[in-house]
Amino acid sequence: MASRILITMADLETAVPLNAAFEAGGYRTDLVDSLDEARQAIKRGQPDVIIVTGAVYEPPAKHLAALARDAEVSTLALLEPTDSDRQDRLSRHGFTEALVKPVPADDVVATVGRLIRRRDIQERTRIVGESAAIQEVLVKIEQMAPVLSTVLIEGESGTGKELVAKAIHDLSPRRGGPFIAVNCAALPEALLESELFGHEKGAFTGAAERRLGRFELADSGTIFLDEIGEVSKSVQVKLLRVLESRSFFRVGGTQPISVDVRVVAATNKSLKESVGLGEFRTDLFYRLNVLTIYLPPLRERRGDIPILVRRFIRELTADDPRRFRGITAEAMQRLASAPWPGNVRQLRNLIESMVVLAPGDEIRASDIPEDIFEGPGILLPVRVNQGGGGPPLPSQELEFILRSLMDLRLQVQELRRRVEDRPGAVQVIEVGPSDNLGDEGTLAHVIEGEDFAEERDAVVYRPGMTMAEVEKAAIEAALRESNGNRRRAAQVLGIGERTLYRKLKAYDLG
């Protein structure tokens, strides 16, 4: 069926020739003169793209863009030359892309065709979002899919790396072949080697028959190696051979096996840093790092959260007899402000649980569990090098201390952000160890008042203090700053109220 284009008549001189150009190109078109007409046209049948020909920054056009964003319809804005300097504001209003007039009709048709192809990719791959970061990912998928080069996908757990790998395969010339996914972190070294390359009968105890490995099963298709950074050095050597020669030996085998397979790898940590620490082979890194895609965490594209939430609710309630109405504005706002350490996977799982357990026919703010606001759960990006002077700390103790320091840093940053949102109320001044601080080596002073003349108690760190003592001092300072309001103190600290209550009891601050 021909794609359908909705064109506004805000600029009639532009709209009429555009309408003719799209009809000549085999598109179906609707010309609308008002927001109400646009709504009615969308109800009659959802368009593939909406073109706003003028008055882009006026309320009707902004409302139409928001309506299109909620319906997951791409919007193209045609800007006046005097408006081009405000182009960066368009994405905030819901527009997908913009061109500056005068623009040839053929260029508009080509741009719309690209938007339709990109939306088709999103529908086929389930990679949802209108943010610039996600649009960049979609562009890279389009560029990388037709070639046969190795691809490395980087991003935190839960960002959708396997979706991207599957999209690359589905849009490639190999889409008729198999797509084989392997989680390299889920298997110990001995089993991983057998899983990847297969084994001969009698190769080891329990090898009762020959078994084909994942590389053989992926022949003529794509193999996806997830969490490639967790692979041992010995398996890295064998992977390097496969990438260089497209051949390998089964475990216990003597004959080389040749395969025609494309490799897509993924990692949730920096392979470059792993190379620097000696944990990952340099030559394998360069073999994998031919084409790269970075998937941003959800907290870096918060504008996509409402789109994802609405998509998940539609999918999960498609057969719901309750006629689920959706989510309230307050609940959506709370979800958009959460840290989401588990990214899209965590968001979908939470939406599913709330849809099932919601007492009514919509998700309300009271249905959202408080523990999702208890901070991002910082993970160390690389293992800490314990070399140097002094006795090494046990790895678990060292990791706990570093995690606590990172959490404290985030709390200070959050406090500063809240302070900057309330000018004239509070100022946070960080002080280095070389400054003249008197006897106590102050880490940060909190100064209150319009002229910042009255200094309150400071959060103090002294050599020898434990993290528990630093945390207790931070909690006391937050309680003072919030005049004893525990809810506000928990918000300032970036933790949930229940967590704060537990710590108050633990530190005897009741």
pLDDT in tens, 263-307: 999 999 889 889 988 889 999 999 999 999 999 999 999 888 988
111 and 142 co-located in one domain: no
Rounded (5°) CA angle 142-126-223? 65
Residue 84 pLDDT > 90: no
**pTM as predicted:** 0.66
Q: Count of alpha carbons within 13 Å of 127, Cβ hemisphere only?
A: 29
291 and 157 co-located in one domain: yes
Q: How far apart are CA 268 and CA 142, in angstroms?
A: 23
* Final residue in a domain of this structure, among 248, 263, 295: 295
Q: What is the average per-residue pLDDT within 468-479?
A: 84
% of the chain beyond a pLDDT of 90: 29
**DSSP classification of residue 304:** G
Average pLDDT of the residues of the chain: 79
Q: How far apart are CA 419 and CA 288, in angstroms?
A: 45
Instruction: Summarize the chain as % helix, strand, coil (round to 5).
Output: 50, 15, 35
Q: Let me know if residue 216 belongs to a domain.
A: yes
Residue 446, by phi and psi: left (phi above 0), alpha (psi -120 to 50) or beta? beta
User: pLDDT: is 308 or 318 the higher one?
Assistant: 308
Give me the pLDDT at residue 436, please: 42
- Say if CB 490 and CB 497 are below 8 A apart: yes
Give me the pLDDT at residue 65, please: 80
**DSSP classification of residue 211:** B
Q: Let me know if residue 386 belongs to a domain.
A: no
Give me the pLDDT at residue 112, please: 93
Output the CA torsion sign for 63, 130, 355, 298: negative
Residue 14 pLDDT > 60: yes
Q: In terms of residue numbers, what domain contains 369?
A: 298-373
Q: What is the pLDDT of residues 226-261, one digit of tens each?
A: 999 999 888 999 999 999 988 888 888 778 889 999
160 and 288 co-located in one domain: yes
Q: Which two tokens stand for residue 281?
A: 């082979």
CA 504 and chain centroid, separation = 34
In this prediction, residue 378 has a pLDDT band, given cuts at 50, 70 and 90, of: very low
Q: How far apart are CA 460 and CA 471, in angstroms?
A: 10
Q: Which two tokens stand for residue 272?
A: 């470059």
| Inter-CA distances, 237 with 181, 233, 243, 284, 510, Å | 20, 6, 10, 8, 58
Residue 429 pLDDT > 70: no
Range with lowest mean pLDDT among 298-307, 333-342, 466-475: 466-475
In this prediction, residue 461 has a pLDDT band, given cuts at 50, 70 and 90, of: low
Give me the pLDDT at residue 458, please: 58
83 and 177 co-located in one domain: no
Q: For 329-387, give the DSSP string.
A: HHHHHHHHTS--TTHHHHHHHHHHHHHHH-SSSEE-GGGS-GGGGS------SSPPP--
Q: Are strands 179-183 and 4-8 parallel, antiparallel or unpaired?
A: unpaired
Q: What is the average per-residue pLDDT within 294-323?
A: 87
Residue 292 φ/ψ, nearest 5 degrees: -130, 145
Residue 392 pLDDT > 60: no
Q: Which two tokens stand for residue 35?
A: 């927001």
Residue 117 pLDDT > 80: yes
* Final residue in a domain of this structure, among 125, 143, 169: 125
Residue 440 pLDDT > 80: no
Q: What is the average per-residue pLDDT within 357-367?
A: 85
Q: How far apart are CA 178 and CA 187, in angstroms?
A: 22
Q: Let me know if residue 474 belongs to a domain.
A: yes
Q: How far apart are CA 273 and CA 488, in angstroms?
A: 39
Q: Let me know if residue 388 belongs to a domain.
A: no
358 and 435 co-located in one domain: no
- Say if CB 158 and CB 344 are below 8 A apart: yes
In this prediction, residue 402 has a pLDDT band, given cuts at 50, 70 and 90, of: low
User: pLDDT: is 381 or 354 the higher one?
Assistant: 354
273 and 156 co-located in one domain: yes
Three-state SS annotation for 121-172: HHHHHCCCCCCHHHHHHHHHHHHHCCCCCCEEEEECCCCCHHHHHHHHHHCC
Buried b / exposed e along 443-477 (16+ C-beta atoms within 10 A): bbbbebeeeeeeeeebbbbeeeeeeeebbbbbbbb
In this prediction, residue 172 has a pLDDT band, given cuts at 50, 70 and 90, of: very high
Q: What is the pLDDT of residues 25-75, one digit of tens each?
A: 899 898 888 878 888 877 777 888 989 888 877 778 878 887 777 777 888
Instruction: Return the CATH number at 46.
Output: 3.40.50.2300
Q: What is the average per-residue pLDDT within 358-366?
A: 85
Instruction: Return the CATH number at 402.
Output: 1.10.10.60
Instruction: Return the CATH number at 324.
Output: 1.10.8.60
Q: Are strands 262-267 and 151-155 parallel, antiparallel or unpaired?
A: parallel
Q: Let me know if residue 383 belongs to a domain.
A: no
Give me the pLDDT at residue 408, please: 59
Three-state secondary structure call for residue 52 = strand
Domain count, the chain: 4
Q: Let me know if residue 251 belongs to a domain.
A: yes
288 and 314 co-located in one domain: no
Instruction: Return the CATH number at 259.
Output: 3.40.50.300
288 and 302 co-located in one domain: no
Give me the pLDDT at residue 370, please: 84
Residue 258, by phi and psi: left (phi above 0), alpha (psi -120 to 50) or beta? beta
Most confident by average pLDDT, 132-141, 395-404, 405-414, 433-442: 132-141
Q: What is the average per-residue pLDDT within 88-104?
A: 79
Tokens 């919509």: give the residue: 362
Q: How far apart are CA 355 and CA 42, in angstroms?
A: 27
* Final residue in a domain of this structure, among 237, 262, 295: 295
343 and 420 co-located in one domain: no
Q: Let me know if residue 254 belongs to a domain.
A: yes
287 and 184 co-located in one domain: yes
Query: Residue 70's CB: how many other CB atoms inside 10 A?
Result: 12
9 and 58 co-located in one domain: yes
In this prediction, residue 348 has a pLDDT band, given cuts at 50, 70 and 90, of: very high
177 and 241 co-located in one domain: yes
Q: Let me know if residue 381 belongs to a domain.
A: no
% of the chain beyond a pLDDT of 70: 80
